[in-house]
A and B are shown apart, each in its own frame.
Chain A
Amino acid sequence: MVSIKGQPNLLHLTLKIWRQDGPDDKGHFVDIDAPGIPTSASFLEMLDIINERLIGEGKDPVAFDHDCREGICGMCSLVINGVAHGPEKATTTCQLHMRSFKDGDTIHIEPFRAKAFPVIKDLAVDRSAFDSIIRGGGYISVRTGAAPEANNTPIPKPVADAAFDAAACIGCGACVAACKNASAMLFVAAKAGQLNSLPQGQAERTARSLGMVQAMDKAGFGNCTNQYECEAACPKEIDRSWITRLNRSYTAAFARKSLL
């Protein structure tokens, strides 16, 4: 293939991509020469181009997770040059574009690494541990039947806004990937905090706080050491103060359950 160095809209990259056959395979990096990558391509489109080429050569394409490709589903992942979801702040991998890279760059692409997120193949990891945490939180009690009158449960605007900030979490797992302890605290804190903030979440607040933390520990995530790498990596900019709130509501829930 001809070198396209010097052409402003196309990049010639060297990719170091993690390849792993399955959860029990040891895995290794493979160097891929990647000329002709348009700067307008998203990072996942870049991988699509690489995979088209691999398939054309009769080779196994690289497995990676994706779904909406518009930054809302939380399915894409990847640790790009050591940063979960790559170099742009508050941006998912699917919304990251190749214009963030320079011609001639070498890019390391690794899966999210955590014991609780086993590699399925190559860059695709199993994040169902997050589902077990959501299940650990249980249900909320709501009256079923006809839709309730919207103004029956007044919610102050600041409370609604705060709950919405927490609800912005798309459950991608970048917090776990970025944490040196593979802790899921930012995720758990956002999910518990969203419901713990709202009037509808009060009835099961105690059980939820205890249940989600217990499920988190059981899944094999690490412990938070308050270094906030999670906050830096979060594509939805979930704030560390949700972790403070979870610390508070968990301890209060324990006290309420055991002492009262």
Chain B
Amino acid sequence: MSSPANSLCGFLASSIGRKWIVAFTGLILVGFIAGHLTGNLLVFAGQDALNAYAAFLHNFLHGGAIWIARCVLLGSVVAHIYFTILLTRANRAAREQRYAVEVTQKASSGSKWMILSGLLILTFVIFHLLHYTVRVGAGFQDLPLDSEGHFDVYRMLILGFSNVWVSTFYVISIAMLSWHLSHGVSSMFQTLGISTPNTRQLFDRIALGFSVLTFAGYTSIPLAVLTGWVA
């Protein structure tokens, strides 16, 4: 059924409308990636700093803020995945028969594997939430409270990353995320209609810089635990 182009359904059924949703939810998720990293790096400022930050997140707006953030993030992830799957399927259908000789002139490797890197990120997100948010298994429940009487996030983190397999999985997943973002961030500026011939190079550099920082920042934590730098 075709809906008029000027209704919300029309927008969500259109190619550009769907991509806009992917880019906008991508922007929200990128914001989260940046914020989450900044907070996590407090681990290098010591046990008190990290635990105080964690307590702040849990108590801000009487504990309401974290639920608002969780809802926004969950909604973004679901919409991002739903629309990227729709788009990817339509893209495959639009080229029924492939070329015998396939040549890539401009596309980056990251851009060609977005659905793969994305689905691997999804697997990681599920594992990560079960690991540190729901705290399934791993013995986190038995940790003593910290000196302020808060749940000891710092100790949990060290216990979690002391497992080499867990840390390896984190590093590989962060590599996937950075790969996803090396294309995703520059693509986002194009889809949202912000890029221009004069700013294009800048946005490409921002994308590269952001993915390198994401990789270096997030992997520094499990590596610091494994090497005993943070203990």
Contacts and interface: CB of A to CB of B under 8 A. Distances in A.
B100 A110 contact: yes
B100 A29 contact: yes
Contacts of B187: 225-226
A37 interface: no
Interface string A17-34: 000000000000100000
A210 B101 contact: no
A245 B190 CA distance: 9
Given A110-B99, A210-B6, A258-B6, A222 B105 contact: no
A83 B106 CA distance: 12
B161 to A, nearest CB: 35
A249 B200 CA distance: 18
B108 interface: yes
Contact of A108 (B6, B8, B101, B193): B101
Nearest to B189: A244
Contacts of B101: 79, 81-82, 108, 110
A213 interface: yes
A16 B99 CA distance: 13
Given A211-B5, A222-B95, A251 B104 contact: no
A222 B2 contact: no
A175 interface: no
Interface string B86-110: 0100110111111111111111100
A16 B100 CA distance: 10
B99 A222 contact: no
A222 B193 contact: no
B164 interface: no
A65 interface: no
B94 A247 contact: no
A251 B191 CA distance: 10
A241 B197 contact: yes
18 contacts: A79-B99, A82-B102, A108-B100, A113-B97, A115-B93, A180-B95, A181-B91, A182-B91, A182-B94, A183-B15, A214-B10, A221-B15, A222-B93, A222-B95, A226-B183, A241-B200, A244-B196, A247-B19
Interface of B: 2, 5-8, 10-11, 13-20, 87, 90-91, 93-108, 111-112, 114, 183, 186-187, 190-197, 200
